[in-house]
Amino acid sequence: MEENLNLTPEEIEKIKQIYEEEEKQLAQSLENGPISYQPFPFDQLERIDLSQLPLFEHTLKVFSLVLKSELFRIGLDISKVSKGKTNLIKYKHFAEHLEGDYYFVIFKTQPLPSYGVLAFRTKFLFSLVSLLLGGEPEELKIEKNVITQTEYKILEKFFNTILRTFEQEFSKLYKVKMEITDTDTDKSLAKANITDKKVLITNFSISFASGEEEIFYLIIDEETIEPVVHVFMGSKEEEEDYKKVIWKAIRTTEVPISVILHATPRKLENILDWKKGDLILLEEFANKPVKGYIENNPVMEGYLGKHQGFYALLFLKWFKE
């Protein structure tokens, strides 16, 4: 039988306080209604850490520098293209702060999943049409927010120039093909299926020689970057994968194979007297195997013969000293 515990008055008072506190907390929870057990919000987990993607930021920076000259090539007098800050945010939260009408160019990055988007102010694009046609940027005299098919054809060169430049810089680290798949004016971007997704958003500033400045956004779904996150982290792939690549390269390398036959040494004066039909004996016996060489190293033995009009070596075994 267990012995009774001897508690001091202070210990008894402490236990009583703990009990009363627990009863009080339970009563308060019941007053507030039944306890709710919510599932863990997995959609809030960070799948990508921007601070660990230095090469992605570098790619965007180089893209902005190269874009200036590429836009100049299509007739736009650009003095500077600057990269702004990159944010990882739910797209719908970003869209809430977009003021005015926007035009969205949706593109696919093959072979990676999901979509990317270029976002421009619609008023800027109307002004750009005039610039691309050799005129001056003009304010619209009538209210208009729909880009016609003709206007899109004029702007298509501008869109493709941005996309090709980004594709070029992206492909320096991971080979991709970027193609425009659709356009949209709905800020929800339901067409691209990224409304409720986290996206990487970078703003770029285009400065014109005339002094005007315009902001556009490059939006990339988090799912697009996730499969190649190790590339933009600057980390190596698993060692096993490299071994497979190296081994495949070794296995598929073409190597020269040769058979060398040796004649017995002769005096130079005898060699100079050779005439057509003279017989030169070789050191190899007709019924004995000869050696096969790879890069002057003997690696195999076989019998020399003929096959379908060609001399051939019948493999016998790997050569051992």
Structure token pair of residue 86: 């990159």
In a domain, 145, yes or no: yes
pTM over 0.85: no
The answer to whether residues 221 and 169 belong to one domain is yes
Q: With 80 as the cut, is the pLDDT of residue 29 above it?
A: no
**Domain hosting residue 110, numbered range:** 47-233
Task: Name the more confident of 130 and 13.
Answer: 130
The answer to whether residues 220 and 266 belong to one domain is no
Count: domains in the chain: 2
- Assess contact for 56 and 232: CB atoms under 8 A: yes
Mean pLDDT score of the chain, rounded to an integer? 82
The answer to whether residues 110 and 178 belong to one domain is yes
As a whole-number percent, the residues of the chain with pLDDT over 70 amount to 78
In a domain, 246, yes or no: no
The answer to whether residues 177 and 304 belong to one domain is no
The mean pLDDT value for 295-316 works out to: 86
The answer to whether residues 187 and 227 belong to one domain is yes
For residue 112, which of 47, 177, 48 has the smallest C-alpha distance? 177
| Best mean pLDDT range from 173-182, 224-233, 246-255, 262-271 | 173-182
- pLDDT of 1: 43
Q: Which of 100-104, 197-201, 259-263 has the lowest mean pLDDT?
A: 259-263
From CA 6, how far away is CA 29, in angstroms rounded? 34
- Give residue 252's Cα distance to chain centre: 26
The mean pLDDT value for 233-240 works out to: 57
In a domain, 5, yes or no: no
The answer to whether residues 111 and 216 belong to one domain is yes
In a domain, 6, yes or no: no
- pLDDT of 64: 95
The answer to whether residues 210 and 283 belong to one domain is no
Q: CB burial class (10 A; 0-12, 13-18, 19+) of residue 319?
A: middle
The answer to whether residues 90 and 205 belong to one domain is yes
Q: Residue 215 phi/psi, 5° resolution?
A: -105, 135
The answer to whether residues 229 and 262 belong to one domain is no
- pLDDT of 34: 53
The answer to whether residues 214 and 65 belong to one domain is yes
> CA-CA distances (angstroms) from residue 303 to 145, 249, 313, 314, 319?
83, 30, 5, 5, 13
As a whole-number percent, the residues of the chain with pLDDT over 90 amount to 39
Confidence tier at 308 by pLDDT (50, 70, 90): confident
Q: With 70 as the cut, is the pLDDT of residue 237 above it?
A: no
Task: Name the more confident of 67 and 272.
Answer: 67
The answer to whether residues 84 and 183 belong to one domain is yes
CATH number for position 267: 2.30.330.10
Confidence tier at 138 by pLDDT (50, 70, 90): low
In a domain, 314, yes or no: yes
The answer to whether residues 285 and 181 belong to one domain is no
The mean pLDDT value for 210-237 works out to: 86
Q: With 80 as the cut, is the pLDDT of residue 21 above it?
A: no
Task: Name the more confident of 200 and 296.
Answer: 200
Confidence tier at 49 by pLDDT (50, 70, 90): low
Q: What is the pLDDT of residues 100-112, one digit of tens each?
A: 999 999 999 999 9
In a domain, 238, yes or no: no
Q: What is the pLDDT of residues 108-125, one digit of tens each?
A: 999 998 899 999 999 999
In a domain, 286, yes or no: yes
Q: Which of 24-38, 94-108, 225-239, 281-295 has the lowest mean pLDDT?
A: 24-38
CATH number for position 219: 3.40.1550.10
In this structure, is the dihedral angle defined by the CA atoms of residues 296, 300, 302 and 307, taken in order, positive or negative?
negative
In a domain, 248, yes or no: no
- pLDDT of 260: 84
